Structure 1
Amino acid sequence: MTMLLIFLRKNTLAMVGGLTLLAVLLAILFAPMMITYSPTRINVLHKLAAPSWEHWLGTDAFGRDVLTRVLYGGRYTLAIGIGVVAIAFTVGVFFGTLAGFAGGVVDMLIMRVVDAMLSFPALVLAIALAAAFGPSLNNAMLAVAITLAPQFARVARSQALAVSVKPYVEAAVSLGLPTRRILWRYIFANGLGPLLVQASLSLGSAILQTASLGFLGLGAQPPLAEWGADVSANLQYMRGSPWVALSPGMAILLTVLCFNLIGDSLADWFNPRRRSELD
């Protein structure tokens, strides 16, 4: 714990990213206690009102408070991002670890499927899947999870290949321990560091892809508050009332940036050479 505190104190970007993300999460979590407006209540008499003490980020074309929609929309966007990464992590790590440990035909079959999926740009594949599944928040979540799982599979396979040749793994195999226990207690546990780094970076990617699908109308549907959908709905008012589109757009930018900063810091933490330099 002491080493971690020293590392964080010397890694300014990690501190900035972590504290900013914590502030965003707290604001989203306690939004109902801080704001009395409803994210879906329409008040056309106050449409496109400029930022003021009453509406800190102004109102949109339907008179809805922009700050309220940003905070409530962050609940859906962040929850989807975490859910997407959890699904992609579970599926990708399982098949990647299995491929690296088993080798042979199993490795070839799994990795050829992974290579085929990675041959498509992630966002293009997510758009195609979301369009095939139908426009909805759950389908967008599933589409993004499918595009991120191959990345975890590649990282998990490389870690499994590196750890499988270690003496303690060979000893476990020679003792006849169950394969499930070897995969969980020895290979997965000792290759967790790079997977956590990948998970942190994938959170930013998941949020960005989910917002992109919402922007294209393949994710959250009106009147649900969601950052990407709100940017798309308010983009036409950008010239005269820029706050309606800039506010959710800046929320996406800030959150993705925080996750990327944390991911880079985790990469330094799990790199002994880099960690010793910072210590």
Structure 2
Amino acid sequence: MHFLRHNPLAALGALILLAVLLAVTIGPVFTVSPIAIDMQAALRPPSLAHPFGTDFFGRDVLARVLHGGQATLTIGIGVVALAFLAGTTFGLIAGFAGGWPDLVMMRVVDALLSFPSLVLAIALAAALGPSLTNAMLAVAVALAPQFARLARAQALSISVLPYVEAAVAAGSTPGAIIRRHVLPNGIGPLLVQASLAVGSAILQTAGLGFLGLGAQPPAPEWGADVAANLQYLRETPWPALAPGLAILATVIGFNLIGDALGDWFDPRRRSE
């Protein structure tokens, strides 16, 4: 609460995310099936029966946004958890070990970072095949190098501090030193990166869905629904705008919290 009181943008981001989470968690209980087809109600404008209108197949757009939000948010958070675990572990080991292991491991990371993350995710998803699980793995691999680089930088700066050298002199194992000293003292920037990466993961997952490499019809997913309804944008914009605005609001919420966390963990900015 202290953090939110002194960071109005973080409070705004938290309110946005709270509204989105409540909507996608509770909302589906009160809506119709997102895959129920009613061709006689196709492309109807917003009304009391269909607050966000209907798409080309007569499916309720609100129901698809709410159900699709469950998949998109679960994947976004799951992707960041996988990328955080793999990338942080890889980077901490490389930074603490130093020498040729660090050199070899970072060249692998540099090779992955040489590709834009979305391009790398598209290539991996295309190679693995179109599915939501493969899209999740592809985005996780694309985001993991960012955590690896940041974790390595933290390990390099912390491993030369006196209390780490004292732990080495006392006979602590490298694994214990990383768990007890390096990771706890370098977790701040990694958490900031994680909060920003959730928005990026949601955006990339939606992008893969938009290209047909993520969720497959008729499953609701924000990116896939934008792509499916884009051709009707001029005449009936609501089927494409609703999931697009949901993506926008969610990504803005995570980015606002990430920016505020960056200021919070920066002693120079926090003291201003």
Q: TM-score by structure 2 length?
A: 0.98
Aligned partner letter, 1:256: V
Which residue number corresponds to residue 129 of structure 1? 124
Q: Distance in 1 between matches of 2:122 and 2:211?
A: 9
The 3-state SS of whatever aligns with 1:223 is: coil
Aligned partner letter, 1:214: G
Q: Distance in 2 between matches of 1:156 and 1:176?
A: 23
The 3-state SS of whatever aligns with 1:28 is: helix
Q: Distance in 2 between matches of 1:274 and 1:160?
A: 23
The answer to whether the aligner puts 1:20 opposite 2:16 as a matched pair is yes
Q: Distance in 2 between matches of 1:101 and 1:34?
A: 52
Deviating runs (4+, > 6 A) in structure 1? none
Aligned partner letter, 2:164: V
Spell out the pairing of 1:37-48 with structure 2 (5 A cutoff). 37-48=32-43
CA RMSD in angstroms comes to 0.8
Conservation of the 8 A alpha-carbon contact between 2:28 and 2:66: no
Pick from 124, 134, 139: which aligns with 2:134?
139
Q: Distance in 2 between matches of 1:24 and 1:31?
A: 10
Pick from 254, 259, 262: which aligns with 1:267?
262
Q: Distance in 2 between matches of 1:153 and 1:75?
A: 28
Which residue number corresponds to residue 8 of structure 1? 4
Q: Distance in 1 between matches of 2:58 and 2:34?
A: 10
Pick from 186, 205, 210: which aligns with 2:205?
210
Q: Distance in 2 between matches of 1:13 and 1:51?
A: 32
Provide the aligned length of Structure 1 versus Structure 2: 272
**Residue 58 of structure 1: how far off its partner (Å):** 0.4
Aligned partner letter, 1:254: A
1:65-104: CA deviation from partner (whole Å, max 9, x where unpaired): 1011001000000100111101100100001000110000
**Residue 180 of structure 1: how far off its partner (Å):** 1.2
Aligned partner letter, 1:90: L
Q: TM-score by structure 1 length?
A: 0.96
1:183-242: CA deviation from partner (whole Å, max 9, x where unpaired): 111001100000000000000000000000000000000000000000000001101000
Aligned partner letter, 1:216: L
**Residue 276 of structure 1: how far off its partner (Å):** 2.0
Give aligned-pair identity as a percent: 67
Which residue number corresponds to residue 84 of structure 1? 79
Conservation of the 8 A alpha-carbon contact between 2:65 and 2:243: yes
Aligned partner letter, 2:136: M
